[in-house]
Amino acid sequence: MGRICLFPIAIVAVVLLSSWGFHAHKLINRMAVFTLPTDVSRFYKNHVDYITEHAVDADKRCYVDTAESPRHFIDADEYGAHPFDSIPIHWTAAVEKFSERRLLARGVLPWQINRSYYALVRAFSELDFHRLLRHSADIGHYLADAHVPLHTTSNYNGQQTNQIGIHAFWESRLPELFSEGYDFFVGRARYIESPVDEAWRIVQESHALVDSVLALEAALSNRFPADRKYGYITRNNVLIRTYSDDYSRAYHEALSGMVERRMRGAIHAIGSFWYSAWVDAGQPDIRHLPPESPTPGTVPAPAADQKPLGREEWH
Ligand SMILES: [Zn+2]
């Protein structure tokens, strides 16, 4: 989750608290590879392990880069009762209306998706192997975050409603327990006409689910025996108190497939953004790019490829 950067917590807790959980992020990026048409799928299949492993780089960057955190969320409710009527979808207009400082404080997730998209288009145009892989993995991460309702509200961990812990519960514990039974055949990637509109559409859809995510857990908590709500699991040899299996199952049922639907949506969106970036780059021939994924020693330092993006790429 975006706010991991704000929590002074140990690594073991981070594994549980990070967005969608490392498990779900990796699974989502991996499954997205199988939505692609043949022209692009061979490249992504060659590097499916890389794309999977690096699905969580964006969260890891939070520890070393304070600019990273706001890219993972947007507190839409901070913009009033009808936030999506009030926030300009384009970055420049939004900065003019609210100031960059305020936008950053409330999170910039949808603009970041658009920004990563244009970085990916450029990587395709220039056939820049390393940046292609890096931006593909990253945009997968941001799109997955955008599908999580609690990434779109200031009450992101239920802290305003006495539901602390619900963030990791919904996006980490539930997928870890139940994603094995999900259907991840989501159909073919499609061409996205307007990446910025699509990013906002996804965020808006997530935001509309915030009330259900919170209300269903609150109702369950009221009727569930308190002494059976929590249990203990072992992670990396550390005993952690978390929601019990029974409580998790009951919440999962109350959500009627919501977690599965959001994961499926994320997978389809990621494949579609990758595919569209390739189309927008002029459908370059990527068959000759190296079939072996880079290993840690062979990847250029990010500083070398982080030329500032043009203004239009924040749009
Ligand atoms: Zn994240």
In this prediction, residue 6 has a pLDDT band, given cuts at 50, 70 and 90, of very low
Q: How many angstroms separate the alpha carbon of residue 103 from the centre of ligand 1? A: 17
Q: For 72-126, what is each residue's pLDDT tens digit? A: 999 999 999 999 999 999 999 999 999 999 999 999 999 999 999 999 999 999 9
> Which is higher by pLDDT, 198 or 306?
198
In this prediction, residue 273 has a pLDDT band, given cuts at 50, 70 and 90, of very high
Share of the chain above pLDDT 90, in %: 80
User: d(Cα 27, Cα 66) in Å, to the nearest integer?
Assistant: 26
Q: How many angstroms separate the alpha carbon of residue 163 from the centre of ligand 1? A: 20
Q: For 186-227, what is each residue's pLDDT tens digit? A: 999 999 999 999 999 999 999 999 999 999 999 999 999 999
Query: For position 298, what pLDDT does the model report?
Result: 67
**Could you identify the residue written with the tokens 């939004």?**
94
User: d(Cα 66, Cα 72) in Å, to the nearest integer?
Assistant: 12
Query: For position 5, what pLDDT does the model report?
Result: 46
Q: How many angstroms separate the alpha carbon of residue 225 from the centre of ligand 1? A: 33
Q: How many angstroms separate the alpha carbon of residue 226 from the centre of ligand 1? A: 31
Q: Which H/E stretch holds residue 161? A: none
In this prediction, residue 311 has a pLDDT band, given cuts at 50, 70 and 90, of very low
**For residues 93 and 99, is the Cβ–Cβ distance under 8 A?**
no
Q: How many angstroms separate the alpha carbon of residue 312 from the centre of ligand 1? A: 24
Mean pLDDT of 276-287: 97
Q: How many angstroms separate the alpha carbon of residue 220 from the centre of ligand 1? A: 27
Q: What phi, psi does 92 have (nearest 5°)?
A: -60, -45
Query: For position 19, what pLDDT does the model report?
Result: 62
Q: Is the pLDDT of residue 305 over 50?
A: no
Question: What's the CATH number of domain 2-284, 3.40.50.2300, 1.10.10.10, 1.10.3720.10, 1.10.575.10?
Answer: 1.10.575.10
- Greatest pairwise CA separation for the chain in angstroms: 60
Domain boundaries, given as residue ranges, for the chain:
2-284
User: DSSP readout, 137-169?
Assistant: HHHHHHHHHHT-GGGGSS-TTSTTTT-TTHHHI
Q: Is the pLDDT of residue 176 over 70?
A: yes
Q: How many angstroms separate the alpha carbon of residue 2 from the centre of ligand 1? A: 5
Q: For 50-77, what is each residue's pLDDT tens digit? A: 999 999 999 999 989 999 999 999 999 9
User: What beta strand segments (E) does 222-273 contain?
Assistant: 230-235, 238-243
Query: For position 295, what pLDDT does the model report?
Result: 82
Query: For position 234, what pLDDT does the model report?
Result: 86
Using the Cα atoms of residue 118, residue 123, residue 124 and residue 130 in order, give the sign of their dihedral.
negative
Query: Residue 96: which residues within 8 A CB-CB, separation 6 or more?
Result: 88
Q: How many angstroms separate the alpha carbon of residue 72 from the centre of ligand 1? A: 5
Query: For position 301, what pLDDT does the model report?
Result: 55
Q: How many angstroms separate the alpha carbon of residue 56 from the centre of ligand 1? A: 7
Q: Which of 17-31, 139-153, 161-175 has the lowest mean pLDDT?
A: 17-31
Eight-state DSSP code of residue 293: P
In this prediction, residue 240 has a pLDDT band, given cuts at 50, 70 and 90, of confident
Q: How many angstroms separate the alpha carbon of residue 138 from the centre of ligand 1? A: 9
CA distances from 5 to 2, 68, 303 (A): 7, 9, 21
Side chain identity at residue 154, one-letter code? S
Q: How many angstroms separate the alpha carbon of residue 254 from the centre of ligand 1? A: 25
Q: How many angstroms separate the alpha carbon of residue 61 from the centre of ligand 1? A: 10
> Which is higher by pLDDT, 16 or 297?
297
